Structure 1
Amino acid sequence: MENLPDLSDGLYLDITRFAHSTPYWFQRLAEVWTELGLLLFGVLFVAGWWRKRRGTADAMTLALLAPLATAFGYVVSEGLKTLVDEERPCRAVAGAPASLVTCPPYGDWSFPSNHSAIAGAAAVALALSWRGMIWLAAPMALLMAFSRVFVGVHYPHDVTAGLLLGAVVAFVAVKAAGRPVRSLVETARSSRSGAVVWCVGRGPRVRASARP
């Protein structure tokens, strides 16, 4: 891993210098997005769960797995981060302009980017659970990854690896956990507990057969 920061130094410097040339309001917008943008994925998870409450068991399964797979993507990313121990570019790159946000403390390592891993995982999980959502989730994930370099706290290779890692982990997690979670959804929908049924929804409405 020692040579990866060297390969990204030039691009990192180009992006961070560009960031400092942008208007003040644009820099503040980037700061807000890089810290709070992930909340929008949370909103989409809730919206996806709500709209699938009257969907099939398969649909509800994917809606429930979306945030769980994203969380698993974060856990894997954080585990890898503790093994690599790559210093943040806001401290390691000579001649770099000051980061737009506070440079994370020593020990909060750089590779891979957890924000990017969460964004990549969320984009894939939402795409699997909500048809057409990829056209919104993918740009959001890419913008989140770019913002981490833009504000100066990650190398380009950090965010690229984070996106790919999160996407792969989420895809595998959804596929691996699909069958057992579907069984849980079916069981929950037949529960006598109103709270449990409310959480997973009753599924598609069964139309009464027409009288002869």
Structure 2
Amino acid sequence: MTDVTDTQTGARTGAHADIDRDAATRDLETRELTPFMAPLTVPPVLRPAGGDVLEETEIAVRSAWVRLHPQLPPTLMWGYEGSVPGPTIEVRRGERVRIAWTNRVPKDSEFPVTAVEAPRTSPPPSTRPGRDGVEPNKDVAALPAWTVTLPQALNFVRAGEAPPTARRRAAGTTAGRTTPWGTATPSCRSIRTTTRRSSGGITTTP
């Protein structure tokens, strides 16, 4: 069971099994969201272990039900440390830290993005597609939880074929490594990086 997190307060309000999301969604179809009902969400602060670069700080991707607006039902999302937005990483300038990026999304977790195919019009209005109702793409919904992809890779799912990196992985050329698509294979559920904070920003190296 996954708790519901309120993005405004950070409070966890219980298991998602008790939520009538369909009823809440139907109610929202007849009204607009009230603006400025909740304060701006402040992400939690994460202070990695410093001083010894060999000491790791784990940042895990977890599934969580998040309430994005007081008038919206909870939404299933994948977030770093289970929070959306993810935590703010706070380190001192010049300090080196080691981060272990770990995928802890359950294998049977539902894919948190509903992909649909809406007919295109010319010119396409940015807010119109989907308002008349469309069917979800079942191929995207069937993506396993350990597969983390960029939006471009979903185009291959819609076309019924695997991304180039996935095809190479099947041939054994990318096993156990990450790919430009951001895919984490079952044998590679954790990525470790060393981060240095400098005046020009955050620099990350494998």
Which protein is richer in strand relative to its size? Answer: 2
Q: Shorter-normalised TM-score: what interval? A: under 0.3
Structure ranking higher on relative contact order (CA contacts 8 Å, 6+ apart) = 1
* Higher Rg of the two aligned structures: 1
Please state which structure has a larger fraction of its residues in helix: 1
Q: TM-score, normalised by structure 1?
A: 0.23
TM-score (structure 2 length as normaliser) = 0.24
